[in-house]
Amino acid sequence: MKSLYKLICQMLILSMVVLPFSTQAGMIATDKVVASAAAQADRTKVLDFVARADVQKQMEVLGLTTANAADRVNALTDEEVQRVAGKIDSVPAGASSNGVWWAVAVVAIIAVVVYVYWK
């Protein structure tokens, strides 16, 4: 964890130093045309970078290889990264419909416990 913070700090320092001078002449990308002015601030770029690093780390913790996690984070848009950053453990993960029976079992057990307790 400490090394992650260190990495983030280094990236923040680097980006603050480098970003203001990194503008190049050239084409303006389509996503910049769509995005609001706020989304184009350098600060947002840094936050996106950090969020991506966080999501990739979390994916590795959840069982992906480093290379696969990197590929999959790259496939997400900035907005999608923001939707899961920091809450990859709690956002919906569609899984098996077999789980339905667990839900029914849990409800049944609670019902039995309540009934026995109050009888």
The contact set with another protein (CB under 8 A) reads 23-34, 37, 40, 59, 61-64, 68, 72, 75-77, 79-81, 83-84, 88-89, 91-100, 102-103, 106, 118-119
Q: What is the closest distance, in whole angstroms, from the C-beta atom of residue 52 to another protein in the complex?
A: 12
Instruction: Write out the H or E segment, with its range, that includes residue 90.
Output: none
Q: What is the closest distance, in whole angstroms, from the C-beta atom of residue 47 to another protein in the complex?
A: 17
Smaller CB separation from another protein, 13 or 31: 31
DSSP state of 23: -
Smaller CB separation from another protein, 5 or 26: 26
Instruction: Write out the H or E segment, with its range, that includes residue 50.
Output: helix 42-61
Smaller CB separation from another protein, 66 or 77: 77
Strand, helix or coil at 62?
A: coil
Contacts 24+ apart (CB under 8 A), 101-105: none
- The number of beta carbons lying within 10 Å of the beta carbon of residue 85 is 19
